[in-house]
Amino acid sequence: MRKHANFCKYIMACLVATAASSNSSFAIPPQDALVSLGLLDLVNSKSTTNDSRAAGGAQSSGVTLLSKITPGAFGQGASSANEAWGYVSPTGREYAIIGLQNAVGFVEVTDPVNPVIVGAVRGQSSIWRDMKVVGEYCYNVIEQTGLGLEIINLTNIDNGVVTLSKRTDLNAGMDTSHNIAYNEDSGFMYLAGSDLNSGFGLIAIDTTDPINPVVAGTWSGSPLVRCHDATVVSYTSGAFAGREIAFCFAGGSGVHIADVTDKNNMFTIGATLYPNVSFCHQGWLSEDRHYLFVGDEADENSNPNVTTTTTYVIDVLDLNNPQFFTSFTNGLPSIDHNMIGRGDYLYQANYTSGLRIYDISDVNNVSEVGFYDTFPSNDSTGFSGAWGVYPLLPSGRVLVGDGSGLYIFDASVALGAPSPAAPSLAIGVQQQYNRYLAFDPTVNGATPAAIRVTHQGPGSPASPKFLTANGRTQDQIDENVFLLQDTPDFRVWTDPICFVADCIFSPSNSYAIQSTFDSFVYSSELVLSTTPTPADGRFYGDVVGTFDPGTQSWSSSDSFVNANDILAVVQKFQLAPSSPATPIVDIEPQSVNAIVNGSDILGVVLSFQFVQYPFASPDGCP
Element (H, E) at 12: helix 2-22
Judging by beta carbons within 10 Å of its beta carbon (0-12, 13-18, 19+), is residue 24 exposed, middle or buried?
A: exposed
Residue 275's alpha-carbon distances to 290, 314, 330, in angstroms, are 19, 11, 18
pLDDT higher than threshold 60 for residue 557: yes
Q: In what order do the strands lie in the sheet with 116-122?
A: 81-88, 94-100, 103-108, 116-122
Q: Which amino acid is at 353?
A: S
Residue 49's alpha-carbon distances to 161, 331, 376, 567, in angstroms, are 48, 10, 15, 85
Cβ neighbour number for residue 336 with a 10 Å cutoff: 27
Angle made by CA atoms 127, 133, 135, in degrees to the nearest 5: 160
Residues 110-141: tens digit of each pLDDT: 889 889 999 999 999 998 899 999 999 999 99
Q: Is 40:70 a contact under the CB 8 Å cutoff?
A: no
Mapping DSSP onto H, E and C, the string for 283-319 reads: EEECCCCCEEEEEECCHHHHCCCCCCCEEEEEECCCC
Cβ neighbour number for residue 390 with a 10 Å cutoff: 24
Residues 257-302: tens digit of each pLDDT: 999 999 999 999 999 999 999 999 999 999 999 999 999 999 999 9
> Of 36-50, 164-178, 185-199, 542-556, which gets the smallest average pLDDT?
36-50
Average pLDDT in the chain:
77
Residue 38's alpha-carbon distances to 179, 239, 458, in angstroms, are 20, 46, 68
Alpha carbon distance 85, 398 (integer Å):
10
Mention every residue, 6+ apart, whose C-beta is less than 8 A from residue 52: 58, 332, 353, 373, 379
Q: What single DSSP character describes residue 251?
A: B
Reported pTM: 0.65
Q: Is 390:398 a contact under the CB 8 Å cutoff?
A: yes
pLDDT higher than threshold 80 for residue 63: yes
Residue 550: the pLDDT is 86
Residue 518: the pLDDT is 44
What length does the chain have? 622
Cβ neighbour number for residue 189 with a 10 Å cutoff: 23
Residues 470-509: tens digit of each pLDDT: 444 444 444 444 444 433 333 333 333 444 444 444 545 5
The three-class DSSP label of residue 391 is: coil
Alpha carbon distance 525, 523 (integer Å):
6
The three-class DSSP label of residue 563 is: helix
- Domain spanning 177-329: which superfamily? YVTN repeat-like/Quinoprotein amine dehydrogenase (2.130.10.10)
The domain segmentation of the chain, as residue ranges, is 1-39, 177-329, 431-529, 532-622
74: confidence class by pLDDT, cuts 50, 70, 90: very high
Alpha carbon distance 289, 322 (integer Å):
12
User: What is the percent of the chain where pLDDT is above 90?
Assistant: 54
Strands 130-134 and 137-141: antiparallel
Alpha carbon distance 453, 474 (integer Å):
10
